[in-house]
Amino acid sequence: MSFLYTQIHHTLLRLATGITIVIILPLLFSCKHSAPSQTDQHERISLDSLAATYTSVDSLRLLQKNMEREGNTTGSMIVQRHIGNLLRLDNHFSQALQIHSDCQSRAQAANDKLEWIQATNEIGTDYRRVCIFCMALQYHYRALMTSNSYADTSYIARKCKAAALNGLGNAYLALHNYSQADSLLKLALAEEKAMNSISGIATNYANLGSAYARCGKQDSAWIFYKKAMYYNQKAHNVMGISLCHTYFGSLCEQEGKDQQALQEYQTAYQMMEKSKDAWYILPSLIALAKYYVHTSQWTDASHYLASARDLGEKNHLTEYLVDIYSLYYHYYKQQGDYRNALLFHEKAKAEKDSLIDEGRIDHIQSVSLNIVEKANDTLRQERSSRQRAYTIFVIILEVLIAAFIILLYSHKLRKQTMKGMQRVANLREDFFTNIAHEFRTPLTVILGLTRSMQNDSHTLDSTKEKAKTIERQSNAILTIINQVISSKMLPAVVKDDEWRHGNISLFMEMIAQSYQDIAEHKGINYHFIKEEEIEMDFVPGYAAKIMNTLLAYAFKYTPKNGTVTATVSREKDTLHLTVSDTGIGMPPEVADKVFTPYFLEEGNIKDIDTCIGLSTVKQIVDLAKGNITLQSDLGKGTTIRVTLPIHCDYALSPDTQQATAQVEEKTEEELPSNTHSQEKLPHLLVIEDNSDIANFISSIFTGQCDLSFSTDGNEGLQTAMDCIPDLIIIDRFVNRVDGLELCRQIRSNPVINHIPIIMITAKVTEQDQLECAKTGITVYLSKPFTAEMLRTHVGNLLKGRDLMLKKFAEIYEERKVSPVESASPQTAANLQFLHKVTDTIYLLIGRRKKVTVAALASKVCMSTSLFYRKMVAMTGMTPTAYIQRARIKKAMNLIDSRQGISLADVADQCGFDAYPNFVRSFKNVCGITPTDYRRGIDTKK
């Protein structure tokens, strides 16, 4: 019954998915325009730059024909757009409008959104040039809306958006809507800044300056004109610089600074005087003529007016001729020559009328109607297509609702069936778990007795061998029981507080190192390959379970001289863990079932624990949304591949982020460099020949401790002697000297025997731990270890060291306790050393000899520098401070024990040359004077 419900559920789900893929997705993709490729972007920019170099319509038309002959539609449209631009410059507005409209239609037919937006902007500019601002606003706004909805952030796309904003701003500027123009031009400026377009930034700053100048905000106009000048100078834009000087002159003239205005106009004209482009010469020339007319300097006015008139009439620049003829009108009117004034007034009016005459307006309106009609046709087609899409969508929605209702009903039936199956599964798992727990008690007794038999000297050798066999089999049963319990304890989801972020490749490497001894013992060629450092979120316990199970499986079924290889790599956002061996392998029918819980095969796989372990690994991989596969050939070997998604959702603290960045900067071959800060920080010595683990430890304590690193035992011992660190971290196996032997040398050396030691090792047996404890190791840390674990151990040892410093100082200043009473060997050695130092101080004082650091160092057979470092490390005080406290303690004892003794005699017997020095030292240590102490006033102990 459950199988039938499952089949119905899957069939309906596939049906709904198929309908969605076949009908809905094509509709969605048909409405979405993909962004052009990077190659297309470069080609467009190149073609645009090429077309901009042509200065005649005929040459551009020839270039367009060549483009069309080559089948380059995009290039043809770009050239056609530039043809319209040249026609507009020549005041052929209706032709320019027709060309740009045709270019827009071609871009729409070719589904070229970028070219469509640019053509629409050009149409808006055409209308703006003939002062039909309502149409200009409409087209620029349409271009802006399309740019905003276009899924492209390339340079050209952003330039199109900036052009639309600029066009809207200039149109509103012409309509005297300065607030709207200001906001739009600032948006255009922001786009140009985002693209780092220097010329675009300069243009928009100039436009903003013009907006503020027109609405009478002279100060703001100055600011923006100056910014425009800065960016024009940065871009080496001579024409822009010239225009900025013209703008400066206009503002100066409005402020009554006539001489400064004249200088700005002359500078602008001098910069453009040699230019062949009359369009850019005339603004400064007209500005000069206007200045001289207004200031009644008729000779200069006549000269510049004649030059401007000659350029304007020669190049048929109607827009400028209107201004020139108007200036002639004022020129003759102010001189009283009304006949010529009237003549030029009529000419100015005629030029203005010719700019937008009735016939031209009619033609433009006719072209506009054609454009609007085409747009309406397109709109109607889009509306019809949208209605069809909506109809299909409604039909599909109804089908999906019906399918959902059926799925809901089938899911309810399936849920009820699954609950019954789950109850049965839970009963079975509880049964196995309870049985497993029951087995643990007798197994504990069996293991204890077998070990006692092996350690008993009266037990026969044959019996010991049998006891070893019993212990080995008992351990195997215990492993199976633990795996059964652990598989039962796997949760359905991983809690957030179980995740850790770190270097998983280094974590796996530390686990892999623990199998090196097994490989050597069994004669197996073992390789661990780490292709790169991988930072990700993972659960340490689960990661260790996966790695240990796969390696244990590989070593168990690989014979002598075989090969086991573990590889950790990354492919995009996926972690790949591969463990392969050249063992006995398994047949296909077995390989297909090894991930099934409690599966047992009587053929090649004879141990159920492997099957339980692999099924647990699969459960963990499924929890992490990963995948596990097994490929095996009978007699050739097995390869297991695990893939896990890489994600970094659990944020690091700032310290950990910095530490991780420092680890990533290191290479695999190099050890981290020693760090010594100016602050008083704990000093850690790390003796480790694996660069990755050394870098990992460095990342944990960088900024928190001073660090020194050594790669072999002899060098580490010498470093410890030289710097006397607060704590030493040693790997179990280092170059030249075994880690345990190095610990013995440290403990036997009176200079450094007080330093706590953390041993890092891949060996985890009880015998190994016992051996480390006998050697005097403070903390035993097995690989793999986490940053939190190591940080916690180091923190606890350093806190314990600080407490011990205070205790040692108190004990031996007062000399109350025997240095060897109730103390560990390490503590006893430290107490013995302090006892000897304190006795030496009192002995020198008693002999009336000067107590110096050098004298003390000589008595304990050390150099002065070594003695200094050891005293600071053990007591937290310099030798000089310790000597002073010892003298004061002796003085306190004398005062307490001998009531009649004078304070001067106390000072003399404690080695003080002068009584004032004694009083000052006593007060520094006790907080009160000797006199107050004798009176019984409390000290600041």
Interval 94-142: pLDDT, tens: 888 888 888 888 888 888 888 888 888 888 888 877 777 788 888 888 8
| Signed CA dihedral, 237, 242, 243, 249: sign only | positive
Span 799-805, average pLDDT: 73
CA max distance for the chain: 144
Share of the chain above pLDDT 90, in %: 5
Residue 924, H or E segment: helix 915-926
One DSSP character per residue, 515-574 reads THHHHHHHT-EEEEEE-S--EEEE-HHHHHHHHHHHHHHHHHT--TT-EEEEEEEEETTE
Residue 416 has pLDDT above 50, yes or no: yes
Residue 325 has pLDDT above 70, yes or no: yes
Q: For residue 78, what pLDDT is reported?
A: 87
Residue 575, H or E segment: strand 574-581
Which amino acid appears at position 583 of this protein? Answer: G
- Of the candidates 783, 701, 325, 760, which has an alpha carbon nearest to the alpha carbon of residue 509? 783
483 and 519 in contact (C-beta within 8 Å)?
Answer: no
Residue 301 has pLDDT above 80, yes or no: yes
Under the banding of pLDDT at 50, 70 and 90, the label for residue 377 is low
One DSSP character per residue, 796-834 reads HHHHHHHHHHHHHHHHHHHT-S-TTTT--HHHHHHHHHH
Provide the terminal-to-terminal Cα distance of the chain, rounded to the nearest Å: 84
Q: Cα-flanking dihedrals φ and ψ of residue 112, to 5°?
A: -100, 95
As a whole number, the mean pLDDT across the chain is 77
Q: For residue 689, what pLDDT is reported?
A: 80
Span 342-361, average pLDDT: 68
Span 816-826, average pLDDT: 49
Interval 550-592: pLDDT, tens: 888 888 889 989 999 999 999 988 999 999 999 888 888 777 7
Q: For residue 815, what pLDDT is reported?
A: 45
Q: For residue 473, what pLDDT is reported?
A: 79
Under the banding of pLDDT at 50, 70 and 90, the label for residue 292 is confident
Residue 608 has pLDDT above 60, yes or no: no
Find all residues with CB under 8 Å of 215, minimum gap 6, and list them.
178
Tokens describing residue 904:
């001067």
Span 831-842, average pLDDT: 77
One DSSP character per residue, 274-310 reads T-S-HHHHHHHHHHHHHHHHHTT-HHHHHHHHHHHHH
168 and 184 in contact (C-beta within 8 Å)?
Answer: yes
Q: Cα-flanking dihedrals φ and ψ of residue 70, to 5°?
A: -80, -5
Interval 702-724: pLDDT, tens: 878 888 888 888 888 888 888 88
| Residue spans of alpha helices (H) in 335-357 | 338-355
Residue 86 has pLDDT above 80, yes or no: yes
3-state secondary structure of 759: strand
Beta-bridge mates of residue 579: 566, 640
Q: For residue 111, what pLDDT is reported?
A: 84
Span 768-774, average pLDDT: 77
Long-range contacts of 518-523 (CB under 8 A, 24+ apart): 518/555, 519/555, 519/564, 522/555, 522/558, 522/560, 523/560, 523/561
204 and 225 in contact (C-beta within 8 Å)?
Answer: no
Tokens describing residue 760:
């890092």
| Signed CA dihedral, 395, 401, 404, 409: sign only | negative
HSE on the CB side for 365, CA within 13 Å?
7
581 and 562 in contact (C-beta within 8 Å)?
Answer: yes
139, 196, 346, 677, 771 from 735: Cα distances, Å: 78, 56, 103, 28, 20
Span 742-771, average pLDDT: 79
The 757-761 sheet, strands edge to edge? 706-710, 683-687, 727-731, 757-761, 779-782
CB burial class (10 A; 0-12, 13-18, 19+) of residue 455?
Answer: exposed
Residue 760, H or E segment: strand 757-761
Tokens describing residue 29:
């993709």
Which of the pair, 918 or 435, is modelled with greater confidence? 918
Interval 629-675: pLDDT, tens: 998 888 889 999 999 999 887 655 444 444 444 444 444 445 676 76
What residue has token string 């610990």? Answer: 743
Residue 307 has pLDDT above 70, yes or no: yes
- Of the candidates 803, 754, 796, which has an alpha carbon nearest to the alpha carbon of residue 779? 796
**What's the CA gap between 670 and 692, in Å, rounded?**
9
